[in-house]
C-alpha cells in the first residue's frame, strides 16, 4: 500500500541495485522521495515540497542516463533539491529498457491522504471524487488507476466539496456546501486549466448538492427543494402542522432560465414516504422536514428521466412531456410499481439508495445502501421489462469489508464488467470484479466520498489533465 502526501517516502526501485546483482541495473534507476515507486508502469507521481523545495535521491545504474527536471544525470548516486511549489511538477525520463516521461507533482501540505491497494488489473482510467468529512481539505480530485492524484482544484472555503464530476464537455463541476441532508448552493464549474465558468443553480431556489446533469445545448438538470407549509405528517411520524421540503427537478440554463420542472408534490402520495422521511432539520431559523431527499437524476432517452428518492426507498421513471410516473422500483407498492424478480430481498429491495444509472444495454444500476435495513450495502443491476412491468435482478455485488452504510455512495458498472463503488459513507472507493473481488481499493482514513465517478479510457487523456494543472500552477 502506498500512502499519499508523505513528502519523503523511501521506495524500492523495480529491482535491487547492488553490486552482487549487476543484471538488475538494466531495470532502471532508483528514485527515492516520490510516490508511487519509480517504474515502467507508473507514469505519474507525487512528492512533498516543504518550504517549496522537493528533495529526491537518485541512483543511476552504469551505462544509463536519467533526465530529471531538464538535467542529464549519468551513472552514480546523488541527492537533488528542486524548487517546487504545490501544484507544480518536474519530469523524469530514463533511457534504458523502457523510455517514458514520468511526471512528478508537488502536493499541498493539506492535501487529503489515502492508501492505495492494487490486487488486479483495473479497468477504470480515472477516479473523480472528493473527501467530504473533516478534516479532509476542500479538494476536487482526479486520480489515476494507481491512486495517484493527477489533477486537483482547491476550493477556498471552510465548507466541503460535494459531488465532483467531469461533465460531458470535459469541464469539472462540484458544489461547495456544508455537509447536511440537503444543500442550498450553486454548482461551481471550472475548465481543466482552472478558468472559472458560469455556475449552475436552480431557479427560485438554490440547487441541492446531490446531482448535476449536463445535457446538450447548454442545458442542465438540478435538484431543488420547495418548501410547503401546513402539512399533516402524523401518518409518517411527524407533527400535524409541518413545513416540508419537497423535491423538484429543474432543467435550467447557465444563465438562470427555467426550461422545465417536475415536483414530487402531486405525483407521489404522502403514504409512499417512510418514517425516515420525517427528518427534522433547522433551516433559516425554522424546523422543516425533508420529505423526499432526492439524490440522483439519470437521463433515459429524449422524453424520460429517472430519479432516486432516498426517503421513499425507490427509483421513479418520469415522462417529461406529461409529468406522469411510468414506473416505480422499490419502496411502498403502488399501481405504478414494477414486480421485482430474482432479488432475494423481495419486492422492496432498497434501503436509502443512491446513484441510479442507465447502461447502454438498457439495464439500470443502483447503489443500494441498505440503510435502516440492517444489512450491508450492495451494487445492483436490473433488467426492466416495461411491457410486463417487471424488474429482474441481473447482478448483486458486495464488498465483505463494508458491512453498513449510513448514506452517500455510488455504483458504476464499467464496459468490461467491473464495478467502481464509493461505499456509502465508508472510507472506501473500490473497483470490484462481478464476483466482488477487489482489484483496486482507495482507503480514505480522513473521510468518505459522496460519489466516485469512474472514467474509462478514451474519454480524458493524461496529457490534458497535466496541461490543465500546469496552466494553474506554472513554473516561471
Residue pLDDT, tens place only, 353-410: 999 999 999 999 999 999 989 899 999 999 999 999 999 999 999 999 999 998 899 9
If we measure between CA atoms, which residue out of 178, 146, 145 comes closest to residue 162? 178
Q: Specify the pTM.
A: 0.92
Q: Could you identify the residue written with the cell 469541464?
A: 171
What is the C-alpha separation between 138 and 134, in angstroms, rounded?
9
| Residue 169, C-beta contacts closer than 8 angstroms, at least 6 positions apart | 214
- In the block, cell 416540508 appears at 244
Distances in whole angstroms, Cα of residue 355 to Cα of each of 340, 363, 448: 19, 14, 16
Looking at residue 14, its pLDDT comes to 23
Give the mean model confidence (pLDDT) for residues 456-462: 97
Sign of CA dihedral 159, 162, 165, 167: negative
**pLDDT for 27:** 57
| pLDDT for the residue numbered 424 | 82
List the single range of 10-19, 168-177, 299-308 with lowest mean pLDDT.
10-19
> Phi and psi (nearest 5°) for 349?
-85, -10
Q: Which of 266, 231, 260 is nearest to 245 (CA)?
A: 231
* Half-sphere exposure (Cβ direction) of 127: Cα atoms closer than 13 Å: 30
pLDDT digits (tens, 9 = 90+) for 238-273: 999 999 999 999 999 999 999 999 999 999 999 998
Q: How far is CA 369 from CA 133, 212, 427, in A?
A: 18, 21, 14
d(CA 351, CA 338): 17
Strand ranges (E), 158-241: 160-166, 172-177, 187-190, 196-200, 212-214, 219-231
Q: Among residues of the chain, what percentage have pLDDT more than 70?
A: 90
Angstrom distance (rounded) from CA 330 to CA 132: 28
Mean pLDDT of 187-209: 95
The whole-angstrom separation of Cα 23 and Cα 35 is 25
Beta-carbon count within 10 A of 149 CB: 22
* Residue 177 pLDDT grade (very low, low, confident, very high; cuts 50, 70, 90): confident
pLDDT for res 280:
84
* CA gap 277, 218 in Å, rounded: 34
Answer yes or no: are the C-beta atoms of 423 and 378 closer than 8 Å. Answer: no
Q: Which residue has the cell 472514467?
A: 455
What are the structural domains, with CATH classification, of the chain?
A: 2-107 (2.60.40), 115-471 (2.120.10.30)
- Average pLDDT rounded to a whole number, residues 75-91: 97
Q: Which of 256, 262, 250 is nearest to 222 (CA)?
A: 250
The predicted structure's pLDDT at residue 155: 77
DSSP 398: -
Give the residue-averaged pLDDT of 84-102. Answer: 86
Cα(247)–Cα(220) distance, integer angstroms? 17
Q: Using 50, 70 and 90 to split pLDDT, how confident is the model at 445?
A: confident
Amino acid at each position: 500500500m502506498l500512502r499519499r502526501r508523505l513528502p519523503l517516502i523511501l521506495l524500492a526501485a523495480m529491482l535491487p541495485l547492488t553490486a552482487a546483482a549487476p543484471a538488475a541495473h538494466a531495470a532502471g534507476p532508483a528514485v527515492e522521495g516520490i510516490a508511487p515507486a519509480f517504474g515502467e508502469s507508473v507514469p505519474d507521481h507525487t512528492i512533498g515540497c516543504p518550504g517549496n523545495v522537493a528533495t529526491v535521491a537518485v541512483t543511476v545504474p552504469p551505462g544509463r542516463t536519467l533526465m530529471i527536471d531538464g538535467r542529464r544525470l549519468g551513472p552514480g548516486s546523488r541527492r537533488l533539491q528542486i524548487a517546487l511549489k504545490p501544484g507544480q511538477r518536474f519530469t523524469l525520463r530514463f533511457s534504458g529498457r523502457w523510455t517514458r516521461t514520468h511526471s512528478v507533482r508537488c502536493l499541498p501540505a493539506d492535501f487529503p491522504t489515502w492508501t492505495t491497494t492494487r490486487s488486479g488489473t483495473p479497468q477504470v482510467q480515472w477516479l473523480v471524487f472528493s473527501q467530504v468529512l473533516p478534516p479532509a481539505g476542500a479538494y476536487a480530485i482526479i486520480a489515476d488507476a494507481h491512486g495517484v492524484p493527477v489533477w486537483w482544484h482547491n476550493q477556498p472555503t471552510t465548507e466541503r466539496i460535494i459531488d465532483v464530476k467531469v461533465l460531458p464537455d470535459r469541464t469539472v463541476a462540484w458544489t461547495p456546501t456544508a455537509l447536511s441532508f440537503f444543500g442550498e448552493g450553486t454548482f461551481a464549474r471550472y475548465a481543466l486549466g482552472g478558468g472559472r465558468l458560469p455556475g449552475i443553480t436552480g431557479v427560485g431556489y438554490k440547487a441541492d448538492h446531490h446531482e448535476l446533469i449536463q445535457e446538450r445545448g447548454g442545458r442542465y438538470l438540478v435538484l431543488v427543494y420547495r418548501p410547503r407549509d401546513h402539512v399533516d405528517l402524523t401518518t409518517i411520524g411527524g407533527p400535524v402542522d409541518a413545513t416540508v421540503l419537497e423535491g423538484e427537478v429543474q432543467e435550467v440554463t447557465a444563465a438562470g432560465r427555467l426550461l422545465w420542472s417536475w415536483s414530487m408534490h402531486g405525483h407521489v402520495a404522502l403514504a409512499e414516504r417512510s418514517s425516515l422521511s420525517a427528518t427534522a432539520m433547522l433551516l433559516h431559523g425554522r424546523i422543516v422536514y425533508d420529505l423526499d431527499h432526492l439524490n440522483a437524476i439519470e437521463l433515459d432517452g429524449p422524453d424520460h428521466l429517472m430519479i432516486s428518492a432516498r426517503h421513499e426507498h425507490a427509483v421513479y421513471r418520469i415522462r417529461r412531456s406529461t409529468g406522469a410516473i411510468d414506473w416505480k422500483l422499490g419502496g411502498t407498492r403502488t399501481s405504478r410499481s414494477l414486480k421485482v424478480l430474482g432479488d432475494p430481498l423481495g419486492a422492496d429491495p432498497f434501503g436509502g439508495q443512491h446513484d441510479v444509472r442507465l447502461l447502454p444495454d438498457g439495464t439500470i444500476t443502483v447503489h443500494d445502501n441498505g440503510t435502516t435495513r440492517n444489512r450491508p450495502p450492495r451494487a445492483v443491476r436490473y433488467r426492466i421489462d416495461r411491457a410486463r412491468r417487471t424488474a429482474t435482478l441481473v447482478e448483486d455485488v458486495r464488498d465483505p469489508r463494508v458491512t453498513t452504510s449510513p448514506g452517500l455512495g455510488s455504483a458504476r458498472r464499467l464496459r468490461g464488467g467491473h464495478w467502481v463503488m464509493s461505499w456509502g459513507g465508508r472510507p472506501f472507493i473500490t473497483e470490484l470484479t462481478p464476483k466482488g473481488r477487489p482489484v483496486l481499493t482507495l482507503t480514505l482514513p480522513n473521510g468518505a466520498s459522496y460519489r466516485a465517478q469512474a472514467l474509462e479510457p478514451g474519454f480524458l487523456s493524461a496529457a490534458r489533465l497535466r496541461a490543465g494543472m500546469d496552466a494553474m500552477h506554472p513554473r516561471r
